[in-house]
Structures are given as structure tokens and as C-alpha cells.
Structure 1
Amino acid sequence: MAEEQPPAEHHLTHPKMTEEGHIKKGGMISAYRLRYSRRGFCTFLTILLLLIAITTLILWLIYRPYKPQFTVVSAAIYDLNTTSPPFISTTMQFTVLARNPNRRVSIYYDNIYTYVSYKNQVITPQVMLPPLFQEKHSTVVLSLVIGGTPVPVALDVANGLMMDEKYGVVSLRLGLLGKLRWKAGAIRTGHNEFSVTCSVLMGLTKGFVGQLPLLGDPECKVDI
């Protein structure tokens, strides 16, 4: 009679252990993918910002705008009176050359006012000028007629102007105030405030009206 064989042992893996192993492995893969994705995004963002910075630098080097330049080429006085308490009444005309030195950038001028001052005090009303567009690397002639309305001034200003008339030499300042915008291709910047101050020394004798000789080269300072 044959002997009975013992039953074969069956090695079974616990279902719970298998499930936990798969979960653990899947979590590691997800964490790795997340780290890889974040690293890739950071690399992309760094490269993008670097390219933007390089492009901006190149455009700035190519299109960086230089200040416009202004020169007074002639001056005339058609009326200059001092009255009590004191007031100064005058009509003056200045011819100014506005030069845009930029070869790639045009300029828009807006809200421009002009005036004349003497001894740091304004002696004319502010006159508003029409908007101006200046092409690249161009020069525009401005004919500025200022005055017409009496302006109250300090007594020393009125007396100083009368003394300068007596000596035949007067120093005035022509001012321009406004806003400008730069235009490079299709790109326009926002408004920037600007001011121009021109020191004008000219010969003036009491009672003379008309074109006056300019003494020296009037210097114009531009601030933006």
C-alpha cells in the first residue's frame, strides 16, 4: 500500500503587502515626476527671463534716446514797459532750433508752455504751444511770441530791468516746459516731463524795438 504524500505547501503573498508595495512605488514615481516637472519649469523660466533681459539690453543699446537739443538763434523785443505798482508789460519773439539727434527715435511733444524770466522771476505770461511731432534726426524751427499781458513783479526786478536798459545789456531766460514721448518703430513710451532753460544775453537800449543782437552763444539746458 502506497504511503500518503504530505500535502504540498503553498506560499501565498499577503494581498495587503502587495497593495502597499505598489502604492509605495507609485508614490515615489509621482514625487520624482513632480520634482522633475518643477525643475524643468524653473529652468524654462530662468532661460525666458534671461532672453528677455538680453533682448531688452540690445533694444536699449540700439534705440536708447538722447536728449533733444535747443538753440536760440534770434531774439526781438517789440514792447517793454514798467508801470506801477510795479508791472512789466512786454512782447518778445524768439527763434529756437529744436534738434532731435536720434537716428532711430522720434519725439512727441505735448502740453508745451513757454515763458521769459528775469532775475529768476517770470516777467511774461505762460504761452501754450501746439503739440509737436519731430521726426528722427531732424531739426524744427520754433517761432515763439511771448507776452502781451502785464505781469506783477518785485520792485528790484523792475528797477534792475530799467538799469540794464540804461547800460545797454540785458540777460533773460527763455523757458520751455512740457511732456514728451519717445517713438521707436511701433513702440511708444509714456510721458516724461521735460524743461528747457536758455540763458540769453542781448544788447538792449531804452526805447529800441525789433531784432536785438545776441551777445555770445545762448546756452540751453535740457532736463528730462
Structure 2
Amino acid sequence: MTGKEYCSHHKDRRRRQVRRACACLLIFNFIVLLLILLVWAILQPKNPRFVLQDATVYAFNVSSNTFLTTNFQVTISSRNPNDKIGIYYDRLHVYATYRSQQITYYTSIPPTYQGHKDVNVWSPFIFGNNVPVAPYNGISLTSDAAAGAVSLTIKIDGRVRWKVGTFTSGRYHLHVRCPTYIPFAGPRTTGVVIGNAIKYQLTQRCRVNV
């Protein structure tokens, strides 16, 4: 065998070895992915369930139809309906909107783990000082406040991971929407005066998307 033939044979052998290694790696990855999908299909993970239980309003003032100052505390419960899957809440931001406009700052909830069938309850304060509002929203807010009731949406945005045994998934976006109607005054009010604030029992189920 000449030197040229030997080099050609050696290169062909290396190519075959590389192809076999790549094929084995692809097959291994395919089997792992298939097993994960099968386990996922069998377990059928369900989204966590959120409920807006109450809201305690300390301040809700509209000035000149332009700026809004708010300060209130909400109680939100989350239940993991899965009996074999845990949930990591890596990041949660709570805020309020009025007619799709954000009217409070973000309030962070500390990261936590939620076990099977567990329930977590959070009571974050959300507030905003002289937050500019769109002119049309400012007029509507003033009118609603004068009428004694305001429709808000409490939102939670964050990231979650699923845990099955020792396997933990990648991060998924979590979007929670809790529409609520707060009657500040009038015959429909459900508020209870607590010091310098008014607490409203809501028990409003939220929409959850992951």
C-alpha cells in the first residue's frame, strides 16, 4: 500500500467513525426526547390555578384627569392541581391595569417551589405615585370613581419550571389575569373599613396561560 493510499484509507475510516458517532448521538437524543414526551403525555400537566381573594385599598386618587395615585394590598392564592408534578416559580411580578394601561409599578414575589397539590398565598402591596394616565383613561377613571366603582385587572407575569421526579423542565412564561370589580361606594359595596383602608372580599378566579 502506497503512502497516498494509506492516507486515503485513514481519512475514509475517520469519516465513517465520525458518521457513526453522529448517528449514535442523534439516536440517543431522539430516544431521550421521545421518553420525555411520553412521560409528559402520561402525566398531563395542568396549569396552576390562581384566585384573587381580596383587595385592601389604602389610596385611589385621580388628579386633574391626568395622574393616578394608588396604594392597595391584594391577596392571591395559587394551587398546584397536579399530583405528580411540582412547580418552581422563578419570577413573579404583580401589577394592576385599567383598560389595558398599567397603573401601578411592578411588585416582585420571592421565588418559591410549589409541591404536589400545594397551595401558596401571597399578599403583595401594589402602588403607584402620580402615574400618568392616557387622557381618555383619566376621564373614565374620574367618572368611575365618582360613580363609586372601578373595574381593574390584577396581572401576574413571570416564569415557571415544572419538576417531575429528578427532571426539571426549562423556563416557561406565566401570564395570570384577574379581572376585578371594586365598588367603592353605594348599595353594592362589599368593603369593610379597617383603620384607614377598606377591604373588599372578591374571590375572583383568574385566567392562567403558560
TM class by smaller structure:
0.7 to 0.9
How much does 1:102 deviate?
0.5
Matched residues, number: 180
Aligned with 1:133: secondary structure? Answer: strand
Q: Would the aligned equivalents of 1:164 and 1:170 in 2 still touch at CA under 8 Å?
A: yes
Structure 1 CA distance, aligned partners of 2:89 and 2:161? 7
Amino acid at match of 1:211: K
Match in the other structure for 1:220: 206
Q: Say yes or no: does 1:139 pair with 2:119.
A: yes
Aligned with 2:42: secondary structure? Answer: helix
How much does 1:161 deviate?
1.6
The structure-2 alpha-carbon separation of the partners of 1:122 and 1:49, relative to structure 1 and needing over 3 Å to count, comes to closer
Q: Would the aligned equivalents of 1:63 and 1:184 in 2 still touch at CA under 8 Å?
A: no
Structure 2 CA distance, aligned partners of 1:125 and 1:49? 44
Amino acid at match of 1:199: P
The structure-2 alpha-carbon separation of the partners of 1:50 and 1:132, relative to structure 1 and needing over 3 Å to count, comes to closer
| Greater C-alpha radius of gyration | 1
The structure 2 residue matched to 1:92, chosen from 63, 72, 76, is 72
Please show how residues 149-160 of structure 1 align to structure 2 within 5 Å.
149-160=129-140
Match in the other structure for 1:112: 92
Structure 1 CA distance, aligned partners of 2:113 and 2:30? 35
The structure-2 alpha-carbon separation of the partners of 1:56 and 1:154, relative to structure 1 and needing over 3 Å to count, comes to closer
Match in the other structure for 1:121: 101
Q: List runs of 5+ in structure 1 lacking aligned partners.
A: 1-37
The structure-2 alpha-carbon separation of the partners of 1:77 and 1:57, relative to structure 1 and needing over 3 Å to count, comes to same
- Between 1 and 2, higher relative CO (CA 8 Å, sep ≥ 6) is seen in 2
Please show how residues 158-169 of structure 1 align to structure 2 within 5 Å.
158-169=138-149
Match in the other structure for 2:175: 195
Name the Cα RMSD after superposition: 2.8
Q: Would the aligned equivalents of 1:90 and 1:124 in 2 still touch at CA under 8 Å?
A: yes
Aligned with 1:162: secondary structure? Answer: helix
Q: Select the structure that is richer in strand.
A: 2
Structure 2 CA distance, aligned partners of 1:104 and 1:143? 27
Aligned with 2:39: secondary structure? Answer: helix
Q: List runs of 5+ in structure 2 lacking aligned partners.
A: 1-19, 187-195
Structure 2 CA distance, aligned partners of 1:122 and 1:50? 44
TM-score, L = length of structure 1: 0.70
How much does 1:202 deviate?
2.0
Aligned with 1:150: secondary structure? Answer: strand
Structure 2 CA distance, aligned partners of 1:50 and 1:212? 53
Structure 1 CA distance, aligned partners of 2:58 and 2:33? 56
The structure 1 residue matched to 2:199, chosen from 192, 211, 214, is 211
TM-score, L = length of structure 2: 0.75
The structure 1 residue matched to 2:50, chosen from 70, 80, 84, is 70
**Equivalent pairs: percent with the same residue?**
32
Match in the other structure for 2:190: none
Q: Would the aligned equivalents of 1:124 and 1:150 in 2 still touch at CA under 8 Å?
A: no
